[in-house]
Structure 1
């Protein structure tokens, strides 16, 4: 007969390990850093450039202190060296810059953004990183919709930066922080005050929330609601660049999923050929059907005056083709060399509206080569990070992770955005380029390796080998 004992052989049940409070605070800080990168222009509109600069510098100091205190497992030999090479060339350009004050100021922004990108990537595992990005995007999306709603209900008209209510209509609506278009069908700008900045961020939010859904995140209904709100802001921003980026993201996603179905060496070749044919055909169609396409998007065939900007920038860049005029991203309007140089809608232009031309103007051919290598390395690594099955031993049937799609889809957004904007060179564009590129080098397998398992120990989780 069975005999009961008060001394069982197995260990008594215990509650699952909980995250430590300090790790909660660390992750919260990373979310704040990501939010500042995604909505950096919003801080300027709300508090002014001087206050925003002080906040940015102070945040960098906090991140440095946290990095020293936490000391995460980090392979310093596996830094994103090409991106750091671009930063180094920008540093050297201050010596021959035609606008040294602007170069030093904007270089500090570049250096802080690079530091924060490395910090966030070092402090979070892949799963935590995607979760933190999602949290930061929720704040941006929610505040953008709430801000537009507040302006329409309580202000009842346009509003200028720093919450100034205009006493008379502005000469051009481009100066408004919000144009009060939420209920009249016009383009909305969110907390960034620019529809061309809101559109790509809303697209990024859709991608991140969808990846969270595919990876089995809890509260799926809530995530679907966030996707719906993000899609609404994406459509209402009506950014032609964001629409083209969305098409590129869809094409890249479809290609990645096709590549994942390949089971034999060489089977991917036909997909690469089809992908190249579609890309070439799309470029030819865009060139031949340029006017009707842009009319359908509500834009002029000269990309709303961008061709005139490109011509002026190219002419000036040709005067110093090798090393450029000196780093300045963005162009500071108070700098005499930029003040009144190119005027659009009555305002001094702050960028070349093309990433490659902007780099050519500032850092010359050397800078263009460095930034091209940086993007090529990122796209190369992120592409194979997405299409190759995770493998570090003889087992070759491990499932793909939806999280591995994020870097390559972000790369698609940045490359398309860089054709009509210079924003991939600063704020969230540059931060994600460095952060995700460094993360792939540090942790090429999600949940596996020192960079992932050491952080799991810090959270109080037991280490275990991923099957």
Structure 2
């Protein structure tokens, strides 16, 4: 008797749960969120929404196909769910319910894609995939800048490229602004260095990647890149000290480092004028302080629940239209993620956001300071870059910034949360990896590749 063909549903379920599909999904998701500006400018906002919506639908399918690997309570951090629930609640009092709902759908959709990637791939696999994607995107950005500024000597307006690479910048690449490109290069450099330390790529590829990221970062001529890079370098040094300390001394050392961070923060604030002059960010800061001083009084009218969640500003809606009219500018954000959350979601939203980001950073830091593999350092370093950059930009609330924040929070929560105590009831969680102390060889992967 001839063998019966498998049921279509079974075949689709097997495909969605397969290792190659998880790998392809991860690369596609990373490329989509990091190249979102270029996709929108080339193909339109509808095309971008369709791509991200399709990835979200596929993500739900993947979770359903792999439902035996996870329990419901392990899918996402509680603080993330609380923040998403509160931003959705702002629909009740916003000035434009349709735009607020659309903004929330974008926020939740990207969060869903990030959760799926964090669950189906382990940290080293995510680093490898992100390294591959950013090598291509930074190379394309630099190539188009050379084409515009050297070979053709004309700007490319629809991509926002000014063609100033011959003047050594600033350049924007396919990321829209120099600050966005600069932020992407910081993320890339962290990822490339972790790739190198884990021997995930050949030495030649690692060297090319670091040079590419370094050159691109310098050509952006972005003061925020300098600040974020210095912060990440200091945190890296602190993490090295903690990882090399005897286990019995780590607790005391952690408290000492915490005190140093507080003192450094207070000192930096007191000497902010001098530091601003040193890095040449006076103009950028003046622009931001004018914006912030206009926004802060508006918080007093709705301090608890805010004006409604929009994410990137809706220019025609109050209070955004008021702020831009007063300043005679066309800002699309508060240029500060924390202030943006405060204005749009009030103090409740800001406290939930800080809890979400803070818990993720604490978990990832403890994980990186105690585990032997250097790959665990990627998560806290990315989180530090995100949270420091949030002082000057609102990238963390949308696009690849929000994607990375959710991704890192989920990865950090895989091994350090109250969910881990339920292991005995539900079995081992998906996505937990065992990695060696050094080298690029992986241990058993519970997350199906």
Shift of 1:39: 2.8
Shift of 1:209: 0.9
Distance (Å, rounded) in 2 between the aligned partners of 1:344 and 1:41: 28
| 464 and 122 in structure 1: CA distance in 2 versus 1, 3 angstrom threshold | closer
Question: CA contact under 8 A between 2:196 and 2:203: conserved in structure 1?
Answer: yes
| 414 and 464 in structure 1: CA distance in 2 versus 1, 3 angstrom threshold | closer
| 320 and 263 in structure 1: CA distance in 2 versus 1, 3 angstrom threshold | same
| 316 and 33 in structure 1: CA distance in 2 versus 1, 3 angstrom threshold | same
Shift of 1:255: 0.9
1:378 maps to what in 2?
Answer: 360
Matches within 5 A, 1:15-414: 23-71=19-67, 73-78=69-74, 79-153=76-150, 155-161=152-158, 177-270=160-253, 272-274=255-257, 276-277=259-260, 279-300=261-282, 303-335=285-317, 337-339=319-321, 341-342=323-324, 347-389=329-371, 400-414=372-386
| 373 and 449 in structure 1: CA distance in 2 versus 1, 3 angstrom threshold | same
Shift of 1:406: 0.9
Shift of 1:320: 0.6
Structure 2 residue ranges without an equivalent (≥5) = 1-15, 418-426, 436-441
Distance (Å, rounded) in 2 between the aligned partners of 1:463 and 1:246: 34
Deviations 1:328-357 (A, max 9, x none): 101122446534632699642111111111
| 27 and 72 in structure 1: CA distance in 2 versus 1, 3 angstrom threshold | farther
Structure 1 residue ranges without an equivalent (≥5) = 1-19, 163-176, 390-399
| 21 and 87 in structure 1: CA distance in 2 versus 1, 3 angstrom threshold | closer
Question: CA contact under 8 A between 1:294 and 1:300: conserved in structure 2?
Answer: yes
Deviations 1:79-127 (A, max 9, x none): 2110111010011110111222221111111011110011111111222
Distance (Å, rounded) in 1 between the aligned partners of 2:35 and 2:78: 27
Shift of 1:194: 0.5
1:451 maps to what in 2?
Answer: 430
More off after superposition, 295-304 vs 29-38? 295-304
More helix by share: 2
Question: CA contact under 8 A between 1:72 and 1:122: conserved in structure 2?
Answer: no
Deviations 1:150-201 (A, max 9, x none): 2224542222126xxxxxxxxxxxxxx1010111122111101201111111
Distance (Å, rounded) in 1 between the aligned partners of 2:184 and 2:397: 15
| 66 and 258 in structure 1: CA distance in 2 versus 1, 3 angstrom threshold | same
Distance (Å, rounded) in 1 between the aligned partners of 2:27 and 2:299: 38
Shift of 1:225: 0.6
Count of residues in Structure 1 that have an aligned counterpart in Structure 2? 415
* Partner-residue secondary structure (3-state), 2:165: coil
| 449 and 217 in structure 1: CA distance in 2 versus 1, 3 angstrom threshold | farther
* Partner-residue secondary structure (3-state), 1:420: coil
1:437 maps to what in 2?
Answer: 409
Shift of 1:23: 2.7
* Partner-residue secondary structure (3-state), 1:91: helix
| 238 and 134 in structure 1: CA distance in 2 versus 1, 3 angstrom threshold | same
1:415 maps to what in 2?
Answer: 387
Deviations 1:288-322 (A, max 9, x none): 44334323323216604111111111111110111
Shift of 1:260: 1.3
Distance (Å, rounded) in 2 between the aligned partners of 1:45 and 1:156: 21
Could you tell me the TM-score, scaled by structure 1's length?
0.82
Shift of 1:381: 0.4
More off after superposition, 138-147 vs 89-98? 138-147
| 50 and 336 in structure 1: CA distance in 2 versus 1, 3 angstrom threshold | farther
Question: CA contact under 8 A between 1:443 and 1:449: conserved in structure 2?
Answer: no
| 275 and 89 in structure 1: CA distance in 2 versus 1, 3 angstrom threshold | closer
Match of 1:425 among 397, 400, 423: 397
Distance (Å, rounded) in 2 between the aligned partners of 1:453 and 1:251: 28
* Partner-residue secondary structure (3-state), 1:333: coil
Could you tell me the TM-score, scaled by structure 2's length?
0.85
| 213 and 375 in structure 1: CA distance in 2 versus 1, 3 angstrom threshold | same
